Structure 1
Amino acid sequence: MDRQNGSAAASPLVSAIIPTRDRAGLVGRAVASALAQTHAPLEVIVVDDGSTDDTAAVLSAVADPRLTMVRLDPGRGVSAARNAGLAVARGAYVALLDSDDAWLPQKTARQLAFMRQRGLAISQTREIWMRGGKRVNPGKAQAKPDGFFFELALTRCLVSPSTVMFTREFHEEVGGFDESLPACEDYDLWLRALLRHPVGLLAEDLAVRHGGRPDQLSASHIGQDLYRIRSLLGLLGREDVSPWHASCIKKELRRKALCYAKGCLKRDKPEEAARVLDLAAAAAGPVGEAGETAP
């Protein structure tokens, strides 16, 4: 790991972490939006996961001592990139930002005030959704809840990384991103968070989420329920999982396994369907046949 930086602020209150790979045309916008925050005591850490395009040149052209660049060996993945940023972050608070997204100028100031007022260890904000350069309205299923919503968060990812802020103590307690997961690493971390902490929602649009491109993880990893299943299996082995948590996890594990198995059978992959159903059954009890719920 190679790190380069200028004479960054002595005591940044917020560390913004931006993972990137081969997004020279986008990362500059993300960095500029972080550096433009109205809250001044801030450092911006960009972790480059082995880019082969002009990403390094774009970042080197930014003449701001608050910017730090960390370079990883190629292809370690977004979890390793975020974890590398967390390892060098100096702020009392950490804010995540994906390299294709952006923040509105008041984002960190408003979120800091919100978290301090409510005594939160982790929070998120609402966001503006853009697809193909046009604003779109998220559906009701994407509405963000507030507080302890562990059971609902099992069904789908309800926390957006580019809107998240958490304390250093939160990171030390809950841990970082699971580097064995090539996708759904955020789903896994939010579930671990919700075992112990409410996730507060600042109901203001303070980030811009840009979607609809083939290089995004949601598009490049097909069958993402497999990674969610792996996350759920890992959760069941944790000491901080209560009997209620375990019951919720097992119910969702059976549901996701059946859904994944159906997809495998449609793609003529019966061995993979059987493998995942067996894994789920061993951890959560009888799952039934693909296409049927267990009694």
Structure 2
Amino acid sequence: MNNPPLVSIVIPTYNHAPMLQRALATVVEQTYQNWNAIVVNNFSTDNTLEVVAAFNDSRIQCVNFRNHGVIGASRNEGIALATGQYLAFLDSDDTWFPTKLEKCVEILESGSDLVCHAEYWIDESGKSRLVAYGPSEAATHHNLIYKGNRISTSATVVRTALLKEVHGFDVAPELISTEDYDLWIRLAAKSNKFAFISEPLGEYHRHDKNVSANIEKHLTAELALLEKHFSANTRFENIIARRRRKALAYYGAGRSLHRTRKHFLALQKYSHSLVIWPISLRLYAAVMLSLIGFFKPKSK
């Protein structure tokens, strides 16, 4: 009888056939080969099934699962089917570098429960920027709640037993787009053995359609997440810390809008942040930059 793979890879997908082919190719090219991949297909209407079949690799299985618009539900289906000691997440539009699993498994085998590596964020124009996560002291249960998310889904490999202990992703509709952040918080409540790799080992591909609406939805979901974890963690925080964290959420939304040149909308978020937490110097600086951007004549 064959031994089960050490790493199970969960790949949710919906009508991303060309990108799924690219993602799976980077899995097959891993220097570490003791894995199986579970493609959780939300009944795609493109040639997703043909893409998976073309690899002709018994380690890659495809299951049809209707997630009703909640990607966390697809990931939970993959977690339920996982047989590996460790579980890696890969969104179907993201990619890994060849040594990703090898380097992550080495750290997990030394006793860590979760490892997350740096990655390149690639926008639709092909422009990239390096994004690092962690460090470990920033990814404690307390700091994840009150200082923000420091972990990325496609850059993470985690001990499967720990994932199942916390029952995977919360699929509540109000948490859509922050269900991964919620998971890291709940994992950190169970373990402080989180490790980070500063070397980029993958690419996160950003799709910026309807940016403003997505930022608004993410902000709403982040505020819902904070209310969930504030109520569950009353023993060590006070009103001041909560106000500061909510202000950070509005500030983050403003920064995202500013980067996409939505200066008026950014100013609205910064203003809301200032009402909640008026003693932040960086907020005043951000307001000034958005004002400059708003009044700057647009190039023809």
Same fold, TM exceeding 0.5? Answer: yes
**Do the aligned residues in 2 keep the contact of 1:9 with 1:66 (CA within 8 Å)?**
no
Counterpart of 2:224, as a letter, is: R
Equivalents in 1 of 2:89, 2:4: separation in Å? 19
**CA–CA distance in structure 1, aligned partners of residues 128 and 15 of structure 2:** 26
Indicate if the aligned counterparts of 2:246 and 2:273 stay in contact, CA closer than 8 A.
Answer: no
**How many matched pairs?**
259
Task: Report the RMSD for the aligned CA atoms in angstroms.
Answer: 3.3
Matched, 1:145 2:140: no
Match of 1:194 among 181, 188, 199: 188
2:203 is equivalent to residue 208 of structure 1: yes
The aligned runs of 1:1-295 (5 Å cut-off) are 10-73=3-66, 75-117=68-110, 119-132=111-124, 134-138=126-130, 143-149=132-138, 150=140, 151-154=142-145, 155-180=147-172, 181-198=175-192, 199-214=194-209, 220=214, 222-238=216-232, 241=233, 243-244=235-236, 250-252=242-244, 254-255=246-247, 292-293=275-276
Provide closer, same or farther for how the CA distance between residues 214 and 41 of structure 1 changes in structure 2, counting only shifts above 3 A.
Answer: same
Q: CA deviation at 1:132?
A: 2.8
| Unaligned residue ranges in structure 1 (runs of 5+) | 1-7, 268-288
Distance 1:257 1:40 in 2: 40
Closer/same/farther in 2, CA of residues 15 and 219 from structure 1, 3 Å limit:
farther
Q: Would the aligned equivalents of 1:49 and 1:77 in 2 still touch at CA under 8 Å?
A: no
Task: Structure 2 unaligned segments of length 5 or more: list them.
Answer: 258-263, 266-271, 279-300
For the residues of structure 2 that align with 1:66 and 1:246, how far apart are their CA atoms?
A: 50
Q: In the superposition, relative to structure 1, how do residues 74 and 56 fare at CA in structure 2: closer, same or farther (>3 Å)? A: farther
Letter in 2 for 1:37: Q
Deviation above 4 Å: which 4+ runs of structure 1? 217-221, 245-249, 256-260
> Structure 1 or 2: larger helix share?
2
TM-score by length of 1: 0.75
- Give the drift of 1:253: 5.3
SS in 1 for 2:119: strand
TM-score of the superposed pair, with normalisation by structure 2:
0.74
For the structure 1 residues 74 and 17, does the alpha-carbon distance in structure 2 shift closer, same or farther, using more than 3 Å as the test? closer
**In structure 2, distance between residues paired with 1:205 and 1:290:** 32
2-structure distance, mates of 1:55, 1:177: 24
Report if aligned partners of 2:79, 2:164 keep a CA contact under 8 Å in 1: no
Distance 2:122 2:170 in 1: 28
Looking at structure 2, the residues matched to 19 and 83 of structure 1 have their Cα atoms a distance apart, in angstroms, of 10
